[in-house]
Amino acid sequence: MTRYIFVTGGVVSSLGKGVITSSLAAVLEARELKVNILKMDPYINVDPGTMSPFQHGEVFVTVDGAETDLDLGNYERYSSAIMTKDNNFTTGQIYEEVIRRERRGDYLGATVQVIPHITDEIKRRIKAAGVGHDVLIVETGGTVGDIESQPFLEAIRQLRLEEGSDSAVIIHLVLVPYVPSAGEIKTKPTQHSVKELRSIGLQPDILVCRSEKPLAKSARSKIALFTNVEERAVVSFPDLQTINQAPGAMHAQGVDEIVVDRLRLDCPAPDLSSWQAVVDAELHPDNETRIAIVGKYLDLLDAYKSLVEAVSHAGIQTRTKVSIDYIDAQELEDQGTDRLAGVNAILVPGGFGARGFEGKILAAGYAREHKVPYLGICYGLHAAFIDFARNVADLPAAHSTEIDAKTPDPVIALITEWTDRDGRTETRSEDDDLGGTMRLGEQKCLLNQGSLAARLYGATFAAERHRHRWEVNNNYVEGFEAKGLVVSGRSEDGKLVEMIELEGHPWFVACQFHPEFTSSPRDGHPLFTGFIEAALAHGKGHGEPPVEANDGHRAEVLKDGTSS
């Protein structure tokens, strides 16, 4: 029987519910439990795919192509669970499904209401996500008291009543602020947040108290008294040096032990040695390097959440302190490429639209001309391909039809047909909706043996995730190859360019997919690890870095169980 852990938040947003959820999953997995994670988002958008990166941050793409909340990336980085469309739903999806059923007549003429119809659909999806697992951890987006999240909390109340109190645990994350003028912490916001939760029928079993410094025993006792929570279950969770200390901190505070006791689970003590090794490598690096990320959504770095994490993971794998210069691509357009002069490697990430794209092309050109290690992702591949077209293949007007539909040399063009991971043919046109119509999800990339990409992966193929509409125009590939471009990866059907490199360059790799989505602290990712190794070599002036096969990377294994 599946047990449930519900994680809610109070007082303010952005306290780290996703971190608490992911870290608890890591510890429970270390106790040999089979864990799945679900995120419930209260916004009315069907998914975050069309939301502004400045508002919502990164869109995380699951293995089956769902565009989801960035917290799902954290779930995958900290657990072995592979996220799918079933691991995230929004208020918009719930209402869309209920209205669809109403239109079909499924409710037999009943008046459709929040209770029971909306809450029943929420409960159905929660239960479905828990099938086949010992524990399902459910993170509820928003803050207790928000009108948007009330149906989710009501569904939790009903589910806990239906399943029994020993089948569900509620963890409430709160802020315990420190007031400098008074010289003390204040517990009143926590008390009021729990009061709000109890007013809708939910009594938290565990309080995780976020604060700058550890809470004194007297503060924990006071909170326990006024919130009707056991003192041992009032957990102090102060700021950490690194997020990767969170699993160890959860265990040190006894959170997993309380959960196991409440849910009556029989499991061994956790082995967190792999997380201890991660923290040791991160906090005690042997090397240091500086790279540049040339992007266009730098006002909110959460827009590049998985990317920055993947760079950090590569630093852990190589025991390197990686300093990042975040450079606005538009700044390169306006002021030139001098900002790139002091870095040991350049990373150009994905994006959409014309703003800043010429700056990304300039960054790719700088890396090509100055032999600086380069990693281009999605739009970063487009930038590199266009730079090559203009400055090596003598096509000065070359462009992407995303930016210039009338370019005489459309070296990047709209993809209209491709084969998905299940072998089905997908088609699109310029008139399709923006939401959910890109080439999405995990697909197989066949690697050109002898290429740098193949040596990095140590495999004949890689399975990576996509999120884009425009592709390399194959009509130009043969001519570019004659001038030194290397196509090092293609789609399984051979029709689409997936990866490119440059002859005579020590380390220049660009990919159409998003490798950052499959990187993790414990395993890293071969492309990012190789990128940081190349940056170290460039900084030391040692030329081309050694390349070791990375047979343990999970992106090389397809989800049907086959591998290279």
Question: Which residue numbers are catalytic?
Answer: 378, 514, 516
Q: Dmax of the chain from CA atoms?
A: 75
59 neighbors 68 (Cβ within 8 angstroms): yes
CA distance 273 to 315: 19
Q: How far is CA 122 from CA 4, 19, 40, 86, 89, in A?
A: 14, 23, 9, 12, 9
Q: Which long-range contacts (CB under 8 A, 24 or more apart) does 415-420 make?
A: 415/439, 415/468, 415/469, 415/470, 415/471, 415/496, 418/491, 418/495, 418/496, 419/443, 419/491, 419/492, 419/493, 419/495, 420/65
**Residue 137: enclosing H or E segment and its boundaries?**
strand 135-140
| Residue 358: strand, helix, or coil | helix
Decide: 239 and 212 in contact? Cβ < 8 Å: yes
Virtual torsion, Cα 356, 520, 39, 193, nearest 10 deg: -90
Alpha-carbon gap, residue 140 to 155, rounded angstroms: 11
Residue 203, Ramachandran bin (φ over 0: left; ψ between -120 and 50: alpha; else beta): beta
What count of other Cβ atoms lies within 10 Å of the Cβ of residue 173?
Answer: 27
And the tokens for 36?
Answer: 């799945």
Beta pairing partners, 60:
68
E strands, 437-548, are 439-447, 461-468, 470-472, 485-491, 497-502, 508-511
